[in-house]
Amino acid sequence: MKKNVQLDEYIKAGKIAAEVREIVRVKDWIGKSVYDICEEVEGEIKKRGAKCAFPVNASINEIAAHYTAEPNDPITIKDTDMVKIDLGAQINGYIADTAVTVCYDAQFDGLVQAAEEALGDAMSMIKAGVKASDIGRTIETTIKQRGYKPIANLSGHSLDQYTIHAGKSIPNIWSIGGFSLSENSAYACEPFVTTEQGGGFVRNGQIKNIFAMNSRKKTKNPEADRLLDFIWEKFNMLPFALRWITKEWDEKQAKELLDVLIKKKAIQAYPVLIEVNEQRVAQAEHTFIPLEDGVTVTTKAP
Ligand code: MN
Ligand code: MN
């Protein structure tokens, strides 16, 4: 990390994200639409003085990740659902990425506890020089000891300014090779847990409602180019949702323009990720910065 200001910004973003996550954790979301959840949580981030690093994800049951609300999305939380709410705050592009699982079916509480415990065990072993593969082993061991399965093809990641997935992965299982954590770099760790009946993997679903810019090359469609400029100015390379552009373009036109930009590969669309055996998935996530002799968990609970 070049300057202390970056550390300050990571810490400010982390404090805001943690405060909001703890509000999310204790709130009763039963009967709320995912549209209301995403908009409310994003509002809590903004009113604390950060920008959203990505659209709030509200991924229900066997959907592990990458579902955000469509404009006026009517899907509503039921009194048996398990919902992963994954949120990101950013200040000048320095990101805090954190998640919590709310669970309204007591028989699945153990999944949530296993994700939290695996994350806690991972955080307590972090310092500069620790191997990512050893973190993966710890996460896997904690989850399996409770009789559950980690999701093997989802992982944590390095973070950089305006970049959520900055190239390095922190696995949720033991794996050969990998890298060692650097002092003063930012990373996210995010164990995902499924049941014993789960396959322990996710597959891509049909729905794609999170997008991000790939390239700023012109498309020869002036209105699509205007949307691309808008996206760059508002979100840089960070992810966004259709909800975030329908104040400037009506929904139908915004969808058509997004399709143009996706075909031209100026924008990419991320599919939802679904557990292969359609079993429930729980997640917990922190952002952290390794130190010479320990760790700063930027999204530590207040
Ligand atoms: Mn996240
Ligand atoms: Mn993450």
What is the Å distance from ligand 1's center to 33 Cα?
20
80 and 168, same domain (yes or no): yes
Mean pLDDT of 62-78: 97
pTM over 0.85: yes
Whether residue 250 lies in the annotated active site: no
pLDDT at position 191 is: 98
% the chain with pLDDT above 70: 98
260 and 290, same domain (yes or no): no
Instruction: Kindly state whether residue 150 falls inside one of the protein's structural domains.
Output: yes
239 and 153, same domain (yes or no): no
By residue range, what is the domain housing residue 218?
A: 206-272
Whether residue 190 lies in the annotated active site: yes
Domain count, the chain: 2
163 and 17, same domain (yes or no): yes
Rounded Cα distance between 225 and 257, Å, is: 9
CB 168 within 8 A of CB 179: yes
What is the Å distance from ligand 2's center to 188 Cα?
5
**Catalytic-labelled residue, pool 39, 105, 134, 165:** 165
Instruction: Report whether pLDDT(247) > 70.
Output: yes
118 and 237, same domain (yes or no): no
Instruction: Kindly state whether residue 2 falls inside one of the protein's structural domains.
Output: no
Instruction: Kindly state whether residue 1 falls inside one of the protein's structural domains.
Output: no
What is the Å distance from ligand 2's center to 123 Cα?
15
**CA distance readout (Å), 14 to 11, 41, 127, 153, 270:** 5, 15, 18, 26, 25
149 and 14, same domain (yes or no): yes
pLDDT at position 4 is: 60
What is the Å distance from ligand 1's center to 84 Cα?
10
Instruction: Kindly state whether residue 146 falls inside one of the protein's structural domains.
Output: yes
Rounded Cα distance between 167 and 41, Å, is: 28
pLDDT at position 28 is: 97
Instruction: Kindly state whether residue 111 falls inside one of the protein's structural domains.
Output: yes
Rounded Cα distance between 65 and 153, Å, is: 12
Whether residue 105 lies in the annotated active site: no
Instruction: Kindly state whether residue 56 falls inside one of the protein's structural domains.
Output: yes
Ligand nearest to the CA of 99: 1
Task: Calculate helix-pair angle for 132-145, 109-124, nearest 10 degrees.
Answer: 150
Residue 28 corresponds to which tokens in the numbers above? Answer: 């009763």
Query: Which tens digits make up the pLDDT trace of 121-158?
Result: 999 999 999 999 999 999 999 999 999 999 999 999 99
Query: Which CATH number is 139's domain given?
Result: 3.90.230.10
Instruction: Report whether pLDDT(87) > 60.
Output: yes
188 and 52, same domain (yes or no): yes
